Chain A
Amino acid sequence: MIAWTIYLTFAGALVVLLAPPVASRWIALLAAGSGLVVSLIGFFQPANFGLFRTLIDVPWVPTLGMHYHLASDGISLTMCLVTAITACSAVLFSWDVVRRPNEFFFWLLLVVAGSFGVFLSADLFLFFVFYELVIVPKYFLIAIWGSTNKEYGAMKLTLYSFLGGALVFIGILAAYVSAGRTGIAASLDLQQLIHFHFPLQLQSWAFPILFLGFAVLAGIWPFHTWAPTGHVAAPTAGSMLLAGIVMKLGAYGALRVALNIFPEGFQVWRNWIAVLAVIGIVYAAAVALRQRDLKFVIGYSSVSHMGFVLLGLATANLTGVSGAVLQMFSHGVIGALLFAVAGRMIYPRTHTRDLDALSTMHLSRSLPFAAFAFVIASAASMGIPGFSGFAAEITILIGAWKAYPLAVWITGAGMVLVAAFTLRALKKSFFSDDAATTSSTIPQRIESETVLEPITAAEKCGAALLIFATFAAGIYPKFLFDRIMPAVQAMSFLK
């Protein structure tokens, strides 16, 4: 059933390409919406979530042991759900794309379809096909419909993704060849490779390559620099997909593939992962504090939040890893919401993202809904209880406490920084009283209030979807944990 997310989205992409331009957004919404329905059904259908259950398995290239093999467990279902939610709202937030809309929604749906594919693949070759499939659409989305420095941002992001892909490729080859040589006949099946015991010597060099390849896409420090530039250059829907889905592909790949097939290599290297993750959390938060462009603030906050995911993975215990998966869900929703507000609600109306310029505009009065959405997203991003960010990060920190007590202290300090830059961005963009204190800017204020067009219904729907998701996950995370924990428990790398 859940496999239909892939097919429906691909079909939607093809139909969009051939349909008349006026209909393209409706078709895209239909495709994304049906993906959401399917993934909701899959998510709530009772099943054994700990089992990586095969959905379909047919030979693809028999001579090389490649199969078209899809499977799902609780983690896949969770990731599919966040992909579908983000995709739906991304379509809603690009309701006003008028320039070459067919191509825009084609590339957008291709990213989404590829991501569904990654989350459901159980064959390494298939996994890698979907993983690499996502690269090119990102390039075109940014280079054609992007803004600030778009060609540079697009190329940088694409080359980083491809570099990560090349490292992943070496890691996959190492597993494929080593397993094919000594044991089972040439196979790329994830389940078989997990049960295959690779020699420690191979694991200790292949794991870091494989993990690093995935981590580049997850924005690990110091390979994170593509993320802020890419996010800023991308169109709103592109930033939403990048922050909401694409960075999760890296983290998911690290968890599903790297940690599972090279568990001993992971044990050798996990301290280093934790170190890089903590540096990433604190460093990105500190950098975000000094940014003037609202989108750059959010871009660096994404890097910081993804640092939590990596820290959670590095703990190698049930709590930490489950928290990491929840954080993937949570940041997918929150990051998308933040970018939606900054990129779609504010920028087209004010034509600036500079925090100082925004602070003179009194946006909280002229755009109350945007202010409301941004407050929610900021609160969730800071980790205020009741939102998904809190549930995820507290779980990760509990897990980390068992493994790296020192890291928790440093991360705690990092969270203060996160709160600081989030509040700074929030205050400067919406609730600044600069304009009120100086009388000279009052006419300008009135003018700006009259010019700004109201938030459209499509934007409200998209924002409402994301806000509901972060609330729901924050108030009742048990729903997610019920699915995530059995799946994590079934993984063999836990200490």
Chain B
Amino acid sequence: MNYFDLVKLAAPEIAVVVTALIVLAIGLTSGRRSGSPGVSPGRPVRAQTVAPNRTAQTFCTLAAALGLLVSIGLVFSLPAKANLLGGMLVVTPLNSLFKIICLALAFFTVLLAQANSSLRHTGEYLAMLLLATVGLLLLVGSEELLMIFVGLELTGLSLYVMAGFDKTDIRSAEAGLKYFLFGSTASAFTLFGLSLLYGMSGTTGLGAIAQKVSAGPASPLLAVGIVMTLVGFAFKIAAAPFHLWAPDAYQGAPVSSAAFIASGSKVASFFVLGKIVLIGFGPLAGSAAWHGMAAGWTPVLAALAAFSILLGNLVALAQKNVRRLLAYSAVAHAGYTLLGLIAGGRDGFSATLFYTTIYAVTLVGAFAIVAIVRRETGNDDITNFSGLSSRSPLLAASMGIFMLSLAGLPPLVGFFGKFYLFSAAFRSGADEGLAWLVALALFGSLISLYYYLVVLKVIFVDEAARVTVPIRPEWLQKFTVAVLAAIVLILGVIPAALVSHIATALP
């Protein structure tokens, strides 16, 4: 191995790390002098009373955004194929594509965080965000269990801090703690599962594991290892019944942290989960067909998916808070997305990747709007959105686009995503064996349309309950929301723009 190669192939990660350090330095040199008052226990200090250092915040945001853009540029300069340290750092077109997607999601989250004035110490916050991004890049770019675990932990630890970052809000602390407790337990499960896999196969490379696994009969110990690993990932993607942290984390964490937990972290987790089950456990797929279930990991995932779809959609019906609603809908969407992995094969994997990507984009957009509404009205209950269409037509229209895309209505990208996913699931197996899951998912979509429409009803139909002062977001926020809405709409009309990229990048 040559260190120059390492620097060359890990250039995007290095760029993000350097950016994190720079951002941290800017925050350190400029943020502390004003002497931020400590939080008086018991009485949360309102964010407005503490004027954050706007210049420092702007500089940090600029530096972080620039660093991420540079990193995206560096991804483009990577060679088409490379493999370093036995799978620890793998460069393929697919990995590069998803590095770009993760970086882009981080970029939008940085813009989102800029709007959040309750975050003091912007430098530290953005540094954590960038470190989480490095974790995502490592996750995406690796085909080796050890490195995957390091990536998972780096992402997880940074996200725990980000979830609890708003010291003025007790809910944020609750979110951070819950996320941390559930997350660390899940990590323990994953690590235990991975260690069993290593014990059984004697290797940590995914390809090598697949060969070892297919050679002999499946042993019970191996089954335990696989199930443990899946449990850890089910936590990451918030699939029921491992979703319990999600509602509180989504609702309590600072909006930008919640957005990143729901988008970037989820995309990378699905990507890695797909690689592990399809490459590493490939020979042990089993079957989730209605007639003729066979032991393997697909029935496990199918059970997770079915439970997530039902529970997520049904519980979302009862929510009064938009962020909680999005959390339960995220559980349901994790269920839909799993359908592609259960279907397996090139088609299913590409459908899953497409869906999780567009879902992440949609959710970042929705959270951006939630952040603005929260700042203007003080909270993010559904009632806080009433009359949004007259207060800010742009935000209302964008929210309409995001919600309807989540519901899966054309001409938005969610519709195509669902079509792709469900057709892949329907096609897999001998005689439409997964039709039961598809029918369940369609039933779930029907339920979900109701609660998304309730949100839209409040926005478009109800008149504003109290004041009807127009909301005038800053141009940067407007720009972010409009760009994300345009992506959702344009990809819906021309899905080939992303589908063909994923399809050609898949080996």
A174 CB–B CB distance under 8 Å: yes
B383 CB–A CB distance under 8 Å: no
* Interface residue from B419, B432, B450, B496 paired with A63 (Cβ < 8 Å): B496
Number of inter-chain CB pairs below 8 Å: 76
**Which of A130, A136, A144, A158 neighbours the largest number of chain B CB atoms within 10 Å of its CB?**
A136
- Tell me if B439 and A170 are in contact (CB < 8 A): yes
- Tell me if A63 and B410 are in contact (CB < 8 A): no
Residues A170 and B460 in contact in the complex (CB < 8 Å), given A132-B415, A158-B453, A177-B427:
no
A-B contact pairs, 19 of them (CB 8 A): A63-B500, A64-B499, A125-B419, A129-B410, A129-B411, A129-B415, A130-B410, A136-B404, A139-B453, A144-B460, A144-B461, A155-B450, A166-B443, A169-B422, A173-B423, A174-B426, A174-B432, A177-B423, A177-B432
A275 CB–B CB distance under 8 Å: no
Residues 125 to 161 of chain A near chain B (Cβ within 8 Å): 125, 128-130, 132-133, 135-136, 139-140, 143-144, 151, 155, 158-159
Chain B contacts for A173, CB-based, 8 A: 422-423, 426, 438
Query: Distance in Å from the Cβ of A119 to the closest Cβ of chain B?
Result: 16
* Interface residue from A62, A133, A140, A166 paired with B460 (Cβ < 8 Å): A140
CA distance A135 to B415 in the complex (A): 13
- Tell me if B495 and A61 are in contact (CB < 8 A): yes
B170 CB–A CB distance under 8 Å: no
Residues 427 to 449 of chain B near chain A (Cβ within 8 Å): 427, 432, 435, 438-439, 442-443, 445-446, 449
B167 CB–A CB distance under 8 Å: no
A486 CB–B CB distance under 8 Å: no
A60 CB–B CB distance under 8 Å: yes
B374 CB–A CB distance under 8 Å: no
Chain A contacts for B426, CB-based, 8 A: 173-174, 177
Residues A159 and B496 in contact in the complex (CB < 8 Å), given A133-B411, A173-B423:
no
* Interface residue from A60, A130, A136, A166 paired with B446 (Cβ < 8 Å): A166
CA distance A162 to B409 in the complex (A): 9
Residues 448 to 507 of chain B near chain A (Cβ within 8 Å): 449-450, 453, 457, 460-461, 495-496, 499-500, 503
Residues A133 and B410 in contact in the complex (CB < 8 Å), given A158-B453, A173-B426, A181-B427:
yes
B270 CB–A CB distance under 8 Å: no
Interface residues of A (CB under 8 A from B): 60-64, 125, 128-130, 132-133, 135-136, 139-140, 143-144, 151, 155, 158-159, 162-163, 166, 169-170, 173-174, 176-177, 180-181
- Tell me if A62 and B496 are in contact (CB < 8 A): yes
* Interface residue from B404, B435, B496, B503 paired with A60 (Cβ < 8 Å): B496
- Tell me if B423 and A162 are in contact (CB < 8 A): no
Query: Distance in Å from the Cβ of A230 to the closest Cβ of chain B?
Result: 14
CA distance A129 to B499 in the complex (A): 17
- Tell me if A166 and B445 are in contact (CB < 8 A): yes
Nearest residue (CB) in A for B419 is: A125
Chain A contacts for B445, CB-based, 8 A: 162, 166
B359 CB–A CB distance under 8 Å: no
Chain A contacts for B432, CB-based, 8 A: 174, 177
Nearest residue (CB) in A for B416 is: A61
Nearest 10 CB-CB pairings of A with B: A166-B442, A129-B410, A177-B427, A173-B426, A61-B496, A143-B461, A63-B503, A132-B410, A133-B410, A177-B426
Chain A contacts for B422, CB-based, 8 A: 169, 173
CA distance A173 to B427 in the complex (A): 8
Chain A contacts for B443, CB-based, 8 A: 166
Chain B contacts for A135, CB-based, 8 A: 409
CA distance A204 to B280 in the complex (A): 40
Query: Distance in Å from the Cβ of A193 to the closest Cβ of chain B?
Result: 14
CA distance A63 to B346 in the complex (A): 12
B179 CB–A CB distance under 8 Å: no
With A136-B409, A144-B461, A151-B457 given, name 10 new contacts (CB 8 A): A61-B496, A63-B500, A130-B410, A132-B410, A133-B410, A136-B404, A140-B461, A151-B461, A170-B442, A173-B426
- Tell me if B449 and A158 are in contact (CB < 8 A): yes
* Interface residue from B415, B427, B439, B449 paired with A159 (Cβ < 8 Å): B449
Query: Distance in Å from the Cβ of B497 to the closest Cβ of chain A?
Result: 10
CA distance A61 to B500 in the complex (A): 8
Query: Distance in Å from the Cβ of A447 to the closest Cβ of chain B?
Result: 34
Query: Distance in Å from the Cβ of B398 to the closest Cβ of chain A?
Result: 14
Chain A contacts for B461, CB-based, 8 A: 140, 143-144, 151
* Interface residue from B439, B453, B495 paired with A155 (Cβ < 8 Å): B453
CA distance A163 to B446 in the complex (A): 7
* Interface residue from A62, A125, A128, A143 paired with B457 (Cβ < 8 Å): A143
Residues A176 and B446 in contact in the complex (CB < 8 Å), given A140-B460, A158-B453:
no
Nearest residue (CB) in B for A146 is: B461
B420 CB–A CB distance under 8 Å: yes
CA distance A147 to B445 in the complex (A): 28
Chain B contacts for A132, CB-based, 8 A: 409-410, 415
Chain B contacts for A174, CB-based, 8 A: 426, 432
- Tell me if A180 and B427 are in contact (CB < 8 A): yes
Nearest residue (CB) in A for B430 is: A181
Query: Distance in Å from the Cβ of B316 to the closest Cβ of chain A?
Result: 15
Chain B contacts for A181, CB-based, 8 A: 427
Query: Distance in Å from the Cβ of B347 to the closest Cβ of chain A?
Result: 9
Query: Distance in Å from the Cβ of A371 to the closest Cβ of chain B?
Result: 35
CA distance A158 to B500 in the complex (A): 33
**Which of A64, A128, A159, A163 neighbours the largest number of chain B CB atoms within 10 Å of its CB?**
A64
Query: Distance in Å from the Cβ of B356 to the closest Cβ of chain A?
Result: 18
Chain B contacts for A155, CB-based, 8 A: 450, 453
Chain B contacts for A64, CB-based, 8 A: 420, 423, 499
CA distance A133 to B453 in the complex (A): 15
Query: Distance in Å from the Cβ of A49 to the closest Cβ of chain B?
Result: 30
Residues 49 to 80 of chain B near chain A (Cβ within 8 Å): none
Query: Distance in Å from the Cβ of A128 to the closest Cβ of chain B?
Result: 8
- Tell me if B446 and A63 are in contact (CB < 8 A): no
- Tell me if B446 and A159 are in contact (CB < 8 A): yes
Query: Distance in Å from the Cβ of B428 to the closest Cβ of chain A?
Result: 9
Query: Distance in Å from the Cβ of B493 to the closest Cβ of chain A?
Result: 9
Nearest residue (CB) in B for A176 is: B423
Nearest residue (CB) in B for A178 is: B432
Residues A162 and B449 in contact in the complex (CB < 8 Å), given A136-B409, A181-B427:
yes
CA distance A144 to B396 in the complex (A): 15
- Tell me if B499 and A61 are in contact (CB < 8 A): yes
CA distance A26 to B142 in the complex (A): 60
Chain B contacts for A140, CB-based, 8 A: 460-461
Query: Distance in Å from the Cβ of B290 to the closest Cβ of chain A?
Result: 14
Chain B contacts for A162, CB-based, 8 A: 445-446, 449
Query: Distance in Å from the Cβ of A253 to the closest Cβ of chain B?
Result: 15
Residues 385 to 434 of chain B near chain A (Cβ within 8 Å): 404, 409-411, 415-416, 419-420, 422-423, 426-427, 432
Chain B contacts for A144, CB-based, 8 A: 460-461
Query: Distance in Å from the Cβ of A158 to the closest Cβ of chain B?
Result: 7
CA distance A143 to B496 in the complex (A): 34
CA distance A128 to B418 in the complex (A): 13
Chain A contacts for B496, CB-based, 8 A: 60-63
Query: Distance in Å from the Cβ of B388 to the closest Cβ of chain A?
Result: 13
Nearest residue (CB) in A for B494 is: A60
Query: Distance in Å from the Cβ of B167 to the closest Cβ of chain A?
Result: 41
CA distance A227 to B31 in the complex (A): 62
CA distance A490 to B357 in the complex (A): 44
CA distance A132 to B404 in the complex (A): 11
CA distance A166 to B422 in the complex (A): 11
CA distance A170 to B450 in the complex (A): 20
Chain B contacts for A159, CB-based, 8 A: 446, 449-450
Chain A contacts for B419, CB-based, 8 A: 125, 128, 169
CA distance A201 to B423 in the complex (A): 20
**Which of A129, A135, A163, A176 neighbours the largest number of chain B CB atoms within 10 Å of its CB?**
A129
Chain A contacts for B427, CB-based, 8 A: 177, 180-181
